[in-house]
């Protein structure tokens, strides 16, 4: 019995660093999330294969929902459009956001705070407000048309409301701040001296950027891309309020299934497909990034 | 030669600056326009705005569902953030300083809810909670928003706690402080900025969460963004602009307080 004593934590304890927190302190949060985050997702998998859903689901066989999603031309089109929208929005955010992030970190100087404010301010407003703002801009007699017609650039108003363009613009607007903040947080950590060294060694400004700064900041681009990709997949407001069914994505379909047809089993299957897309994003993040991001 | 290259550098910096100014102007444009429209007089939205009035603010304030749901949204943001802190902060303290695989995995698990499309979370949770008998209700909303509040709080607290030297607490303990005294007088004060920033994020996210709240909307307990969405689906008048401006003013006020206390830079840096 006493032989067991020294083997226990006693000698160890002196070496171990002092910790205020006990390991069991993670239990409340972990249990809460298992109960209200993991369990619902598992229940949804069960429901999507026709396990426990009321209504139409009972007539469907196992996996039939998924078969429909892949074989039905309409739903397969939705699946494709979902991915196309997410990819286009992500690429647009990189192209538009990188120069801004670079300017903010390297050139803006004392204006940096103001730029940061302009990026964060939209995040404080409701997505409904931003969608409304774009409708005000794109409406038939809205801001843009008034500007163009009064400016003599157009003879009659162009119809951009309910056009896919307005959905894309609104999505890019909503997600651009996430991209810029992801990139700038990485750029911030790259010492300026590296670029200066490349310049001193004879590289042109563009070469120094291309071979030194860009590769070092690529992690921010990847993190931002994954963030934007996943968030685009969760957004139904832009397509709902600005698209008028001209852009059909999975989140919009889930919203409509829930609202109109109440086919919970099918909506559950679509949710799982979205979930898989998100999980691929998460996996990519752990693979390529180091878990940075806003 | 040297002159030419420096001239070109000036030019490229200038172009980059001009681009940034234009892009930021476009980013701000929809928001500014909504605020402008909210002060217009007419029932239709057209430009240029001809006459100004506060009638849409009066309408927004008199419109019952807006004010009722605004109050629900505020209560919900506070309740979800408080619950998120209560379980998220201890977990963050327990995880932040361990580099073990287990701790890393649990930390990733705690942060996972913000990486899942919110519409999937809301949808699946509604059916799950309905099966438990607490579907469409304030309690259901509270649970859903807490699921998302935990990662925001945990993330900033983990980041701040990692940057605090470990020997601060060791010193307190060596000097004879009990574990609870160390927690109360050393740990909590130093991680306060993290708790505060995480809480603000969680509260702001909860305040504007549409994809999650949408599924729990009932006549007795529904949040402002949901009411705004259904209003906008049916009408296109400046009342929605007025209530948007009110909501934004609340969020900006919260952020200004935060900025005063801790600075915007530290908030963005606290990843």
Q: Write the residue in A18, A185, A278 that is nearest to B170 by C-beta.
A: A18
Distance CA A246, CA A164 (A): 6
Q: Dihedral of the CA atoms B94, A224, B113, A258 (nearest 10)?
A: 170
- Confidence label for A61 from pLDDT (cuts 50, 70 and 90): low
- Confidence label for B8 from pLDDT (cuts 50, 70 and 90): low
Mean pLDDT over A135-147 rounds to: 83
Contact A89, A172 (CB under 8 A): yes
Contact A221, A94 (CB under 8 A): yes
Distance CA A264, CA B29 (A): 39
Mean pLDDT over A34-55 rounds to: 78
- By the 10 Å C-beta count (0-12 exposed, 13-18 middle, 19+ buried), A294 is classed as buried
Contact B198, B88 (CB under 8 A): yes
Mean pLDDT over A99-118 rounds to: 87
- By the 10 Å C-beta count (0-12 exposed, 13-18 middle, 19+ buried), B211 is classed as buried
Residue B129 pLDDT > 80: yes
Which A residues 54-93 touch B at CB under 8 Å?
none
pLDDT digits (tens, 9 = 90+) for B11-53: 888 899 999 999 999 999 999 999 988 888 877 776 677 778 8
pLDDT digits (tens, 9 = 90+) for B176-188: 888 888 888 888 8
**A244-250 CB contacts, 8 Å cutoff, 24+ apart:** A244/A161, A244/A162, A246/A162, A246/A163, A246/A164, A246/A167, A247/A81, A247/A85, A247/A164, A247/A167, A247/A168, A248/A77, A248/A78, A248/A81, A249/A78, A249/A81, A249/A82, A249/A85, A250/A78, A250/A79, A250/A82, A250/A274
Task: State how far residue A2 is from chain B, nearest Cα, in angstroms.
Answer: 28
Which pLDDT value is given to residue A85?
Answer: 94
Q: Write the residue in A104, A126, A281 that is nearest to B244 by C-beta.
A: A126
Q: Which residues on B lie below 8 Å from A176 (Cβ)? A: 27
More confident residue, A171 or A205: A171
Q: Is A271 on the interface with B (CB under 8 A)?
A: yes
Mean pLDDT over A63-74 rounds to: 83
pLDDT digits (tens, 9 = 90+) for A233-290: 888 888 888 888 888 899 898 888 887 777 778 888 888 888 888 888 778 767 765 5
Which pLDDT value is given to residue B112?
Answer: 87
Beta carbons of B224 and A126 less than 8 Å apart: yes
CB atoms within 10 A of CB A67: 13
Query: What tokens does A6 get?
Result: 């020294």
- Confidence label for B220 from pLDDT (cuts 50, 70 and 90): confident
Distance CA B259, CA A5 (A): 54
Residue A292 pLDDT > 50: no
- Confidence label for B87 from pLDDT (cuts 50, 70 and 90): very high
Which of A42-51, A85-94, A137-146, B260-269 is predicted least confidently?
B260-269
Mean pLDDT over A117-132 rounds to: 87
Contacts of A47 (CB under 8 A, 6+ apart): A53, A57, A264, A265, A268, B127
Beta carbons of A104 and B20 less than 8 Å apart: yes
pLDDT digits (tens, 9 = 90+) for A4-21: 444 444 445 445 567 788
Q: Is B185 on the interface with A (CB under 8 A)?
A: no
Which pLDDT value is given to residue B150?
Answer: 95
Q: Which whole-number Å values give the CA distances from A122 to A130, A245, A265, in the listed order?
A: 8, 25, 36
Assign 3-class secondary structure to A21-85. CCHHHHHHHHHHHHHHHHHHHHHHHHHHCCCCCCHHHHHCCCCHHHHHHHHCHHHHHHHHHHHHH
Which B residues 98-157 touch A at CB under 8 Å?
106, 108-110, 112-113, 115-121, 123-125, 127-129, 131, 143-144, 146-147, 150, 154
Which pLDDT value is given to residue B263?
Answer: 67
Which pLDDT value is given to residue B80?
Answer: 96
pLDDT digits (tens, 9 = 90+) for A23-40: 889 999 999 999 999 999
Beta carbons of A29 and B93 less than 8 Å apart: no
Q: Is B265 on the interface with A (CB under 8 A)?
A: yes
Q: Is A251 on the interface with B (CB under 8 A)?
A: yes
Beta carbons of A271 and B123 less than 8 Å apart: yes
Residue A54 pLDDT > 70: no
- Confidence label for A59 from pLDDT (cuts 50, 70 and 90): low
């Amino acid at each position: 019995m006493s032989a067991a004593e020294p083997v226990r934590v006693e000698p160890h304890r002196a070496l171990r660093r002092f910790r205020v927190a006990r390991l069991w302190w993670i239990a409340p949060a972990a249990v809460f999330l298992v109960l209200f985050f993991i369990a619902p997702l598992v229940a949804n998998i069960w429901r999507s294969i026709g396990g426990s859903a009321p209504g139409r689901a009972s007539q469907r066989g196992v996996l039939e929902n998924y078969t429909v999603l892949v074989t039905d031309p309409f739903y397969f089109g939705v699946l494709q459009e979902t991915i196309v929208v997410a990819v286009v929005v992500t690429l647009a955010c990189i192209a538009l956001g990188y120069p801004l992030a670079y300017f903010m970190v390297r050139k803006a100087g004392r204006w940096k705070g103001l730029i940061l404010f302009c990026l964060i301010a939209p995040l404080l407003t409701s997505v409904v407000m931003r969608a409304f703002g774009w409708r005000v801009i794109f409406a038939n007699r809205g801001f843009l048309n008034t500007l163009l017609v009064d400016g003599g650039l157009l003879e009659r108003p162009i119809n951009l409301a309910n056009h896919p363009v307005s959905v894309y613009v609104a999505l890019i607007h909503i997600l651009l701040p996430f991209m810029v903040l992801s990139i700038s947080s990485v750029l911030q950590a790259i010492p300026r001296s590296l670029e200066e060294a490349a310049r001193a060694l004879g590289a042109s400004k563009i070469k120094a950027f291309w071979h030194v700064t860009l590769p070092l900041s690529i992690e921010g681009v990847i993190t931002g891309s994954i963030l934007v990709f996943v968030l685009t997949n969760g957004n139904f407001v832009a397509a709902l309020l600005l698209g008028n069914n001209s852009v059909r994505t999975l989140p919009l379909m889930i919203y409509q299934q829930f609202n109109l047809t109440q086919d919970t089993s099918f909506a559950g299957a679509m949710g799982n497909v979205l979930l898989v897309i998100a999980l691929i994003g998460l996996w990519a993040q752990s693979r390529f990034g180091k878990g940075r991001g806003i | 030669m040297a002159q030419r290259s420096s001239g070109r550098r000036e030019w490229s910096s200038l172009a980059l600056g001009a681009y940034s100014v234009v892009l930021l102007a476009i980013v701000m444009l929809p928001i500014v326009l909504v605020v402008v429209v909210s002060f217009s007089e007419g029932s239709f939205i057209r430009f240029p705005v001809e006459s100004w009035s506060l009638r849409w603010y009066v309408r927004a304030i008199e419109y019952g569902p807006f004010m009722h749901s605004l109050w629900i949204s505020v209560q919900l943001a506070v309740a979800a953030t408080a619950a998120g802190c209560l379980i998220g902060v201890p977990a963050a303290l327990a995880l932040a300083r361990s580099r073990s695989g287990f701790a890393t995995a649990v930390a990733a698990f705690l942060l996972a809810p913000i990486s899942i499309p919110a519409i999937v979370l809301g949808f699946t949770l509604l059916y799950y909670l309905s099966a438990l008998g607490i579907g469409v209700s304030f309690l259901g909303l509270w649970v859903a928003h807490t699921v998302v509040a935990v990662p925001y709080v945990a993330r900033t607290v983990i980041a701040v706690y990692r940057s605090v030297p470990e020997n601060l607490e060791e010193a307190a303990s060596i000097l004879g402080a009990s574990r609870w005294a160390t927690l109360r007088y050393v740990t909590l004060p130093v991680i306060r900025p993290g708790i505060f920033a995480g809480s603000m994020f969680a509260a702001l996210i909860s305040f504007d969460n549409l994809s999650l709240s949408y599924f729990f909307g009932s006549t007795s307990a529904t949040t402002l963004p949901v009411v705004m969405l259904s209003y906008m689906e049916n009408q296109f008048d400046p009342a929605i602009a007025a209530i948007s401006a009110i909501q934004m003013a609340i969020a900006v006020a919260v952020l200004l307080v935060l900025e005063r206390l801790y600075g915007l830079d530290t908030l963005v840096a606290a990843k």
